[in-house]
Amino acid sequence: MFNFPEVKLGIVAVSRDCFPKSLSETRCENVCKNYQEKFGDIFKCETIIENEKDMLCALDEINTAECNALVVYLGNFGPETAETLICKEFNGPVMFVAASEEDCGDSLSDGRVDAYCGMLNASYNLALRNLKAYIPEYPVGTADEVAEMIAEFVPVARGIIGVRNLKIISFGPRPQDFLACNAPIKQLYNLGVEIEENSELDLYASYHGHANDKRIPKIIADMEAELGEGNKMSGILPKLAQYEATLLDWAEEHKGSRKFVAFANKCWPSFQTQFGFVPCYVNSRLTAMGIPVACEVDIYGALSEYIGTCVSGESVTLLDINNTVPANIYNEEIKGKFDYDYTLKDTFMGFHCGNTPACRLKSTTMKYQLIMHRGLEPNSEPDITRGTLEGDIVDGDITFFRLQSTSDSKLSAYIAQGEVLPVATRSFGGIGIFAIPEMGRFYRHVLVEGNFPHHGAVAFGHFGKAIHSVFKYLGATEIGFNQPKGMLYKSENPFA
């Protein structure tokens, strides 16, 4: 995977001039030592910030070291103005964290740092200046604890840096009756995301321009190796390989001033009749490379997938929150058989035609899109509807989430942690049986009440904490989650 940023961390200690500078200096050195032993490199700024001139010197040091994420460490109370100005001037995500008191013996006088108090003033000054910073849930700690907090900041910083350097390329227009995938793009610009909207004709012309691309045989061979025994429709691979080369070239040639790219592409209904295949498998392969390709021109779906890729550092997928689990499957294979006592309403099937990466499926088979085949090629062998990658999704922990602009251009989001159950779906497409505690209530009072579309991004693992921090940093006004029993949603009927 190559399409997300590498975080280069810097740390700068601050000190209020009425405190001994050595308090911050020594504690910062201990933090760096702990971090480097457990997690990796971090650049320690030699300048201790006591005033605005120190801030400028420190900023020059950090920029010269090419840091793209910064930790501001309150080794003591800290100077409110200078420590928040460096947040303003630094071009990247900033974390604020503070030192707790150390063992003092019989006296807590000369060595007292008062950073618990200083963090309050830092946060207040950040708000006065309309500055955003990442502040951990409990932002005051020992050197070891602060090192752990910094490690948790890294995936958050990666997500923020990625979004600020992202271009989403779309090929539309959106399919008829898919207004759910339509959302105002103003918030993309507010986030720093660039958007390039194109016509299917642009994609069609570029695709035909790759007819004799020299990479096609190599891409076919790679597809064959990935599919293995699941390569049931090898005759469609040349077209799919040509399409993959087309998208990769478009990404490289059109990223412009941006470092990273995601796609939101139209994939039906005219795609099949004109291109002669279904693009799902290629979409899955690019997503596995770290270049999410959202279905049905779902621009905010692509953004959500990309954030999940940055945070997890691994491949993700985009799925429909699709259908309920039949009662017979629940009763026979789910009820009472897992650590969490899932009810039927806690379960659902997440599905899409075939865009989930092969590494996220238990077994992979190249197939045809069943629904499209009914309409486009009834009573005939599949031809133009070939190209889906199908199989049951691997079981294990997941995070289901989405960042979305509302119709009135406000950022809202949701996050829910759960798991894919090791239960056969008996269905088609890339599909899995998902279980999320209190999913029924979450579905009604977050997804339905919040007017979210049917697409949700899926990260494979529990990443809710980091994703929530990214959404908050980016300015989401509401972040829904699957609230436990006894914790009512605002819209929930207490008598239901």
The answer on 127 and 21 residing in a single domain is yes
49 found inside a domain = yes
Asked if residue 265 and residue 238 are part of one domain, the reply reads yes
Q: 115 and 18 in one domain?
A: yes
Question: 84 in a domain, yes or no?
Answer: yes
How many Cβ atoms from other residues are within 10 Å of residue 468's Cβ?
18
Our count of domains for the chain comes to: 2
Residue listed under structure tokens 């596995």: 288
Residues 117 and 55 in one domain: yes
| 213 is a domain residue | yes
Sheet holding 9-14, edge to edge: 43-44, 9-14, 69-74, 94-99, 140-141
Among 163, 184, 218, give the residue marking a domain's end. 163
pTM of the model: 0.96
Q: Which of 105, 131, 163 is the last residue of a domain?
A: 163
What's the rounded Cα separation, in Å, for the pair 463 and 431?
A: 21
**β-bridge mates for residue 99, sequence order:** 141
- Are residues 123 and 135 in contact, defined by beta-carbon separation less than 8 angstroms? yes
pLDDT one-digit tens code per residue, 263-280 = 999 988 889 999 999 999
Instruction: State whether 26 and 126 are in the same domain.
Output: yes
Q: Which two tokens stand for residue 166?
A: 């992202």
Cis preceding-peptide flag for 217 (omega within 30 of 0): no
Which residues constitute the domain of residue 410?
165-481
- CA 33 – CA 43 distance, rounded (Å): 11
CATH number assigned to the domain comprising residue 72? 3.40.50.10940
- Of 163, 198, 217, the last residue of a domain is 163
Q: Are residues 37 and 47 in the same domain?
A: yes
Query: Does residue 126 lie in a domain region?
Result: yes
**Tokens read off for 335:** 């009820």
Decide if 486 is inside a domain: no
Is residue 1 a part of any domain in this protein? no
pLDDT in tens, 32-51: 999 999 999 999 999 999 99
Residues 176 and 30 in one domain: no
Phi and psi based region of residue 33 (left: phi greater than 0; alpha: psi -120 to 50; beta: remaining):
alpha
Give Cβ neighbours of residue 451 (< 8 Å, ≥ 6 apart). Answer: 406, 407
- My answer on whether 92 and 144 are in the same domain is yes
pLDDT digit string (tens) for the chain, length 496 residues: 679 999 999 999 999 886 788 889 999 999 999 999 999 999 999 999 999 999 999 999 999 999 999 999 999 888 999 999 999 999 999 999 999 887 655 545 566 778 889 999 999 999 999 999 999 999 999 999 999 999 999 999 999 999 999 999 999 887 777 766 777 899 999 999 999 999 999 999 999 999 999 999 999 999 999 999 999 999 999 999 999 999 999 999 999 999 999 999 998 888 999 999 999 999 999 999 999 999 999 999 999 999 999 999 999 999 999 999 999 999 999 999 999 999 999 999 999 999 999 999 999 999 999 999 999 999 899 999 999 999 999 999 999 999 999 888 899 999 999 999 999 999 999 999 999 999 999 999 999 999 999 999 999 999 999 999 999 999 998 999 999 999 999 999 888 8
Q: Are residues 415 and 266 in the same domain?
A: yes
Q: First-to-last CA distance in the chain?
A: 47
Same domain, 475 and 343: yes
Give me 427's structure tokens.
């269905």
83 in a structural domain:
yes
- Asked whether residue 3 is assigned to any structural domain, the reply reads no
Tell whether 280 and 354 lie within a shared domain. Answer: yes
**Statement to judge: residues 361 and 317 lie in one domain:** yes
